[in-house]
């Protein structure tokens, strides 16, 4: 009901002094930025006791005056930022170059690893293919031997009954 809406166009109209929140909205910055500017003396402010506690009130004229000063200092900061950026780029250039070389080496190493894995898989498949034909004749050869063993043990069983461990381990 009695609430005031604060936006950048209606902030502090008709008043000479603004709160930190109103000044922040007017300037388009965070409230902490305005607080820091008050602390460093950029904006002269007066502390007033309200029902919520102590509140800073900033004169509208000082905000507008310092707005021009802040604009000038931001232009000089852009110049310093450009020089600093060039300096940092010069420092980083060898590292970026080395990173590119390392990436190329990594790509070549990955290709070699992939080729080695493919070769290993092909050799494993070839080994399995060679094992399978050998296993088939062995099983065919083992079957007649088993038949001969059964015949030999059958004859022995008829003559004398031997214990099971002698039949298995022989003796």
What is the span of the domain harbouring residue 31? 17-74
Examine residue 36 and state whether it is found in any structural domain, yes or no. Answer: yes
What does pLDDT average to over the chain? 75
The bridge status of strand 17-18 relative to strand 45-50 is unpaired
Q: Kindly report the CA angle at 101 between 99 and 103, in degrees rounded to 5?
A: 70
Identify the CATH number of the domain in which residue 58 sits: 1.10.1660.10
Least confident of 50-59, 92-101, 138-147, 159-168: 138-147
Average pLDDT over residues 12-21: 73
Q: Structural domain tally of the chain?
A: 1
Examine residue 57 and state whether it is found in any structural domain, yes or no. Answer: yes
Examine residue 123 and state whether it is found in any structural domain, yes or no. Answer: no
- DSSP conformational letter for 41: T
- Residue 98, pLDDT > 60, answer yes
**pLDDT, position 78:** 58
**pLDDT, position 11:** 42
Residue 136, classed as helix, strand or coil, is: helix
Examine residue 65 and state whether it is found in any structural domain, yes or no. Answer: yes
Least confident of 5-19, 52-66, 72-86, 116-130: 5-19
Residue 11 to residue 63: CA distance in whole angstroms: 13
- Residue 28, pLDDT > 80, answer yes
Examine residue 59 and state whether it is found in any structural domain, yes or no. Answer: yes
Q: What are phi and psi of 158, to 5 degrees?
A: -65, -40
Average pLDDT over residues 89-97: 89
pTM, two decimals, is 0.34
Examine residue 84 and state whether it is found in any structural domain, yes or no. Answer: no
Examine residue 46 and state whether it is found in any structural domain, yes or no. Answer: yes
User: How many alpha carbons lie under 13 Å from residue 42 in its C-beta half-sphere?
Assistant: 16
Examine residue 54 and state whether it is found in any structural domain, yes or no. Answer: yes
């Amino acid at each position: 009901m009695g609430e005031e809406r604060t936006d950048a166009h209606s902030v502090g109209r008709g008043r000479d002094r603004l709160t930190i929140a109103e000044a922040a909205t007017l300037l388009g910055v965070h409230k902490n930025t305005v607080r820091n500017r008050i602390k460093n003396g950029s904006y002269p402010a007066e502390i007033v006791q309200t029902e919520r506690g102590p509140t800073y009130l900033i004169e509208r004229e000082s905000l507008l005056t310092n707005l021009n000063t802040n604009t000038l200092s931001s232009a000089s900061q852009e110049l310093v930022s450009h020089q600093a950026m060039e300096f940092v780029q010069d420092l980083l250039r060898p590292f970026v170059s080395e990173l590119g070389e390392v990436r190329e080496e990594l790509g070549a190493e990955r290709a070699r690893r992939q080729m080695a894995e493919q070769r290993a898989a092909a050799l494993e498949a070839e080994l399995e293919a060679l094992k399978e034909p050998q296993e088939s004749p062995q099983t065919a050869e083992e079957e007649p031997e088993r038949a001969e063993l059964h015949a030999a043990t059958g004859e022995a069983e008829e003559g004398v009954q031997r214990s099971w461990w002698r039949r298995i381990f022989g003796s």
